[in-house]
Structure 1
Amino acid sequence: MKGLVFKSAVVTTAALLLAGTALAQNARPLAPGQSRNGTLSTRSPMMTENIYYLDRYTISGSAGDRVAITMRSESFDTYLEVGRMEGESFSVLGSDDDSGGELDSRLVFTFPETDSYIVRARTFGANTTGAYTIAVETVAPPGPPPPPTPIQVGQTVEGSFTADSPSYMPNGYEDYGGGTGRHYALYTLTGAAGQTVTVTLRSTEFDAYLEIGADTPLGFGVVQSNDDMPMPAEGEVTPAVDPEMMAHDEHGEMEHSDFIGTLDSQIRFTFQSAGTVMIRATTLASDTTGAYTLSVE
Structure 2
Amino acid sequence: MRALLMTSVLTAALAVAGGAAAQSTLRPGQTVTGNFSGKDARMDDGSHYRCYVVQTQQNQVYTVTMRSSDFDAYLMAGPGADCDDTTVSNDDGPDMGTDSQLRFTSTGGLWVIRANTLSEGETGSFQLSVSAGQQLRPTTQVLPISVGEGRQGRLEFSDRQASDGSFYDCYALTVSRAGRVAVRMDAAGFDAYLSLHEGPQCDGDSLASDDDSGGGTSAMITQDLRPGAYSFRANSLSAAQEGDYTVTVTTMR
TM-score range, shorter chain: 0.5 to 0.7
Secondary structure of the residue aligned to 2:199 is strand
Asked whether the 8 Å contact 1:45–1:53 carries over to 2, the reply is yes
Q: What is the letter of the counterpart of residue 47 of structure 2? A: Y
Q: 2:219 — aligned with what?
A: 265
Whether the 8 Å CA contact 2:59–2:136 is kept in 1: the answer is no
Is residue 61 of structure 2 the alignment partner of residue 36 of structure 1? no
Distance 2:196 2:92 in 1: 25
Structure 1 residue runs of 5 or longer lacking an equivalent are 1-15, 170-178, 228-255
Partner amino acid for 1:107? R
Residue 212 of structure 1 corresponds to which residue in structure 2? 197
Alignment partner for residue 68 of structure 1, among 57, 62, 71? 62
Cα offset for 1:122?
A: 1.6
Q: Indicate yes or no: 2:187 matched with 1:193.
A: no
| Contact 2:168–2:233 (Cα < 8 Å) also in 1 | yes
CA contact (8 A) 1:71 1:121 kept: no
The residue identity in structure 2 corresponding to 1:32 is: P
Contact 2:156 2:241 (C-alpha < 8 Å) held by counterparts: yes
Cα distance change on mapping 1:194 and 1:121 into 2, 3 Å: same
Q: CA deviation at 1:226?
A: 4.4
Question: Cα–Cα, structure 1 residues 156 and 150, in superposed 2: closer, same or farther, change >3 Å?
Answer: same
Give the alignment's TM-score, normalised by structure 1: 0.58
CA shift digits 1:38-79 (9 cap, x unpaired): 44x4536243311222232222357x4745141143642532
1:98-155 residue CA offsets vs partner (Å, 9 max, x unmatched):
6952453223252554xx5532112345455555433223345432416233444455
1:233 aligns with none
Where 1:84 maps in the other structure, the secondary structure is coil
Specify the alignment match of 1:12 in structure 2.
none
Q: Which amino acid aligns with 1:279?
A: F
Correspondences of 1:47-62 after superposition (within 5 Å)? 47-61=42-56
Residues 87-98 of structure 1: matches in 2 within 5 Å? Answer: 90-97=83-90
TM-score, length-normalised on structure 2?
Answer: 0.66
Q: Residues 257, 96 of structure 1: CA spacing in aligned structure 2 closer, same or farther, 3 A cutoff? A: closer
Q: From the superposition, tell whether residues 130 and 45 of structure 1 become closer, same or farther in structure 2 (CA, over 3 Å).
A: same
CA RMSD in angstroms comes to 3.9
Deviation string 1:169-222 (CA, Å, 9 cap, x unpaired) is 3xxxxxxxxx6x33111223344313532102345733623223323xxx5434
CA distance in 2, matches of 1:121, 1:197: 45
Query: Percent same amino acid among aligned pairs?
Result: 18
**Relative contact order (C-alpha < 8 Å, sep 6+): which is higher?**
1
Q: How many aligned positions are there?
A: 226
Equivalent position of 2:15 in the other structure: none
Counterpart in the other structure of 2:3? none
Question: Could you tell me whether the CA contact under 8 Å between 1:161 and 1:289 is conserved in 2?
Answer: yes
- Provide the residue aligned with 2:241 in structure 1: 289
Is the alpha carbon distance of 1:99 and 1:290 closer, same or farther for their aligned partners in structure 2, counting shifts above 3 Å? farther
Name the SS of the counterpart of 2:29 in structure 1: coil
Question: How far does residue 272 in structure 1 lie from its aligned partner after superposition?
Answer: 3.0
CA distance in 2, matches of 1:17, 1:207: 33
Question: Does residue 1:45 correspond to 2:40, yes or no?
Answer: yes
Native 8 Å contact 2:171 2:232 kept in 1: yes
**Distance in 2 of aligned mates of 1:168 and 1:97:** 19
Matches within 5 A, 1:112-261: 112-113=108-109, 116-128=110-122, 131-145=125-139, 147-169=141-163, 181-203=165-187, 205-206=190-191, 208-215=193-200, 220-222=202-204, 224-227=206-209, 259=213
Structure 2 residue runs without a partner (length 5+): 1-17
- Aligned partner of 2:81 in structure 1 is 84
Q: Distance in 2 between matches of 1:93 and 1:268?
A: 33
Report if the CA contact (8 A) 2:103-2:240 is conserved.
no
- Please state which structure has a larger fraction of its residues in strand: 2
